[in-house]
Structure 1
Amino acid sequence: MKPYIAHELPLQNLDYRRLLELVGEANAALAKYDGLLQGIVNPAVLLSPITTQEAVLSSKIEGTQATLDEVLEHDAGIQMDVFKTQDILEIVNYRRALMLASDYLRDRPISLSLIRQMHKLLLDSVRGKDKEPGEFRRDQNWIGAKGCTIDQATFVPVSPLQLQSALDDWAQYIQDNDIDALLQLAVVHAQFELIHPFKDGNGRIGRLLIPLFLYQKKKLASPMFYLSAYLEENRDAYYEGLARISQADDWDGWIAFFLKAISVQATENAKKVHEILALYEAMKQRIVSITHSQYSIQILDALFDRPIFQTTELVKRTDIPKQTLLPLIRQIRESGHLKVIQEASGSRPATLAFSELLNIAEGRKIL
């Protein structure tokens, strides 16, 4: 099988009549979601569990087995077995790479330098750490069954001799404006996956680029749009759509799939944000009523930022004096709003969970 030859961008001869309605639906759904984001004072805190859930699902597509609550338990300091910890660290790195890029984009556009930084962080001390983190590949790679030869591969990405040229064209395309930003994003994501510039981690970097691109193009007030739930649920169609580009030049089919994914996921994301905002407003009243404390809102924000926590860690994070905070947490716990993950034992503090928020982020009851 010969290496893939990257299409020249922007694409020509797309079937805009087929895609026009899907473009309109995707833009409308995304605009509604962005309207919600713009109404949140601190989305990074309030929607923190959704960000972690995106990291969980994007990594799951690549084979990790950790869940949202396990990642948050790890964040809280609960020890896991070595295999579970390895999966969790991959997810934590994904989240760190997103935060790094979000900070970078405040005053600079997406660049190949940023992508290399993200990749280096993504593979830091985890599976793939021996695959030259932060470096574009210098060898030919291929995709197929484990142990297959290049002749047995299902896909052979761009030749290393053509890689830099393909990446430069791709990076320039990101800075330009195509006929529509969401249609352009579909092309950006697919072209990156087909170029496959790294030895490992290409899928995760490609999915990380989705909210970053939308933020750069001012389609979102903050880079917090997560598509991995849809892509994980429709994993076969996701990979088949990418494969049909290389096999049959079916860009129209891929773009149609991607636009539908945006429409469906924007609606689902908006529903979750509505539920989280409603919970936040309800909990403001409840915690004030329960604690009668000047620290009520500060505690609530900390619960939303990290809904699984150890009590001593919460003291450090809020700077509320321990002798003041612990009785307030006990009151909230006794009211039924916090569940015990791990009781205090000896010098080990209790680990508690704000289950109502976790269940919304997960989309089902987990605690």
Structure 2
Amino acid sequence: MSATSRPEPSRAPGPLFTTAAIVASCAGFVVIGAFQALYGPAIPALRGKYDISPAVAGLSLSAHFIGALVGVLVYHLLRERLSQRTLLGASYLLMALGAVAFAFSPNWTLALAGSFITGLGFGGVDYGLNQLFAVGFGRRSTAMLNLLNGHFGVGAIAGPALIGWFGADNYPVIFVGSGVVCLLILLTLGGVAARVPGPDTETAAVAASPRVLPIIAAFIGVYVLHVAIETGVGGWEPTHLETVGFAAATAATATSAYWAAMTIGRFVVVPLSLRFSAPSILTVCCAGMAGFLLLATVPAAAPYAYFGVGLAIAPIFPTCLPWLNRAVPSISAAGAYVIAASMIGGVTFPPLLGVVIDGLDVKALPTVLFGLAVACMLLSFWLRQNAPDHSGELPSLTDAAPKTAASPGVQT
């Protein structure tokens, strides 16, 4: 074969992030976690500033989530036309612009518009970085996604703490400060790859399976159910604990501990995800949710059980996303579907659960959520059989000795 006709050896795609860009991405998730958690503590100040009712003030978070959902869809539609740097940069700019508009709007209508604009950027950053981390680190993607989403929890804890420290009336300063951080992150976007390599022919062939749509539907089911449980516990735990005899202060502390567990669980699973497969982690987490919710039916154990529920829920979102990308690699919209589904579930399920609780009794909360956890666990079993994790080199949690052989074709 002549030198001119010899095929060139295949080259592995370069890294999608520099170290500085990884650090900045984690900072970005601290910011979006804070944004999501800031609206609630700011409600007393919003009511006084705009002379509105609590229900109307709560529309700020609704506008944010609607914007986030639109942001996910727009980012997905544009990701083939524009570079990742452009889309992430636009998302951070939208968050900064929306934060300033929300902080200084002279009337409530403009404040809601600012919340919506912040949500647009929020959705773009959330979807864009989750997708990039899901494909950008090879077998370490699950660990890196848990690390990234753990920083979201840090922001969700820090946001209300800042409101408590500075006072609700000073919420504009905190929103503007968060916007400034978004602008600083723009300086690091040169360390993000402009384009994401597509799946190779062999991997993409997996998506030709007639089970692709059921697989995506099952992942959506897992996302909707676990977010339903997450918001159900977060919204109703204080009421349930007070109903079964705990003091209001104890119930509030236990609820704070539950949200802290959501952050702790993601950091804890980072090293575990380097040793155990995503299907194994999902199955254990779903079983843990069910077990702890069953334990929560015992009044004396309920506060501790809810903490366990938080630990079990925490890894599901960041663990399933890279698995989904490996299971249906040529369906680029799959990640958008499940992230959008999780957002929709977070908005729509709390009022639905409220209707169920009104028809039963708040003491039935852990039992109702236990039923959802069992459904989630059944989906995890089905996915384990029908959507095997093609990272290959990762062992099962039940394996006595983890395998160490690297899977061919996986870039690390």
Q: Report if TM-score (shorter chain) is over 0.5.
A: no
More helix by percentage:
2
Normalising by structure 1, we get a TM-score of: 0.28
